[in-house]
Structure 1
Amino acid sequence: MAKLLYSATMSLDGFIAGPDHDMTWMTRLPDTGPHEVADSIWKQVGSLLVGHNTYYGNDPNEGTDAEGAFGGVWSGPQFVLTRTPPTSPVEGYTFLTDLAEAATAAADAAGDSYVAVLGAGIAADLLAAGLLDEILVFIAPVLLGAGTPLFRHPDGTEIALEEISSTTGPSPTIWLRVRK
């Protein structure tokens, strides 16, 4: 059964995008060499569940060979949660307006692989609805100062997490399971 995994690269001060959803900061990061988790996670992904802002936002690799999910190496079914789906079909994408329906469709498409959740807003909504299973955070060696935080959690409800794994080094990671 598929698990919903929110995976994001975050600045040390907690932002996954700069002001106005700017992602170009990621293209200015130093190359820290091979990273076992980052270099292989895409192989475990069966589908994407993408939020509105991420779908309509900017890809820092647009126009290059690295454009698209996971630096352009991943392809597969993509589901977009939005209140305003396009009026015409978009090849490779399914647009849905209901959170639970979108999560179920993406999980069905992923089979026994992960559903990669892309976007802070949809991740927070899935977490609040009890649908998010895991969180994988890559910590980038940069301070952005402002932008989109990893999570917005305005109601202040505490969510218990447990560590699955972590790595150290120039770009540390932490992989967490959401306790349910």
Structure 2
Amino acid sequence: MLEQVVSDWGAVVMGRTSFEKNEGEGGWGRRGPMGDVPCFVVTHQAPTRSYPPVFTFVTDGVVSAIEQAKKAAGDKVVGLHGATVMQQALPLGLVDEIRVHVVPVLVGGGTPLFGVLDSSITLERTRVVATPAATHLSYRVLR
């Protein structure tokens, strides 16, 4: 199931924290988190060292990163990776669908995925798939 979700992605937008956390777990090598899928990292300052060409560091905000990712993705999905990007994009109306993969492990920490919202956002459940490893939930964001 997760492999199918990832294969639908034409680009990824992630925050600097997610980028650095994953980089610290062994580095990116010559590819990004989804292989050769373009990855746009929202950051206040572009790094001084070089990274694989799949990475583009976007210093002018999440809106710009998502616009660039949409162009790169063509007719494929733009995936958001990390809580900070979701917390910025969702209230701006930049999220069409939310896919959550619930794994039966409680880690006891981390960053809340949606943060604190100024108002409620109505979702329509579109899919539930239960597997031995996880429950995969899909919701359409209603406007």
Query: What is the TM-score normalised by the length of structure 1?
Result: 0.69
Greater relative CO, 1 or 2 (CA 8 Å, sep 6+): 1
| 1:159 matched residue in structure 2 | 121
Matched-pair contact (CA < 8 Å) for 2:38–2:72: yes
| Distance in structure 2 (CA, Å) of the matches to 1:162 and 1:173 | 15
Letter in 1 for 2:92: A
Q: 1:102 aligns with which of 65, 70, 80?
A: 65
Do residues 54 (structure 1) and 28 (structure 2) align? no
Which residue, out of 98, 103, 106, partners 1:140? 103
What does residue 86 of structure 2 align with? 123
Q: Determine the C-alpha separation between the residues in 2 that align with 1:151 and 1:118.
A: 12
Q: Which runs of 5+ in 1 are unaligned?
A: 1-36
Q: Does the residue aligned with 1:49 lie in a helix, a strand or coil? A: strand
- Mapped contact 1:62–1:68 kept (Cα < 8 A): no
Q: Aligned in 2, Cα 1:154/1:177: closer, same or farther, shift over 3 Å?
A: closer
Compared with structure 1, are the counterparts of its residues 145 and 91 closer, same or farther at alpha carbon in structure 2 (3 Å cutoff)?
closer
8 A contact 2:32–2:52 mirrored in 1? no
Name the SS for the 1:85 alignment partner.
Answer: coil
RMSD: 2.4
1:43 CA displacement = 1.4
- Whether contact under 8 Å (1:61, 1:68) holds in the other structure is no
2:15 maps to a residue whose letter is G
The alignment covers a number of residue pairs equal to 139
Q: How high is the TM-score relative to the length of structure 2?
A: 0.85
- Percent identical: 33
Q: Distance in 1 between matches of 2:7 and 2:64?
A: 25
Contact 2:13 2:41 in 1 (8 A): yes
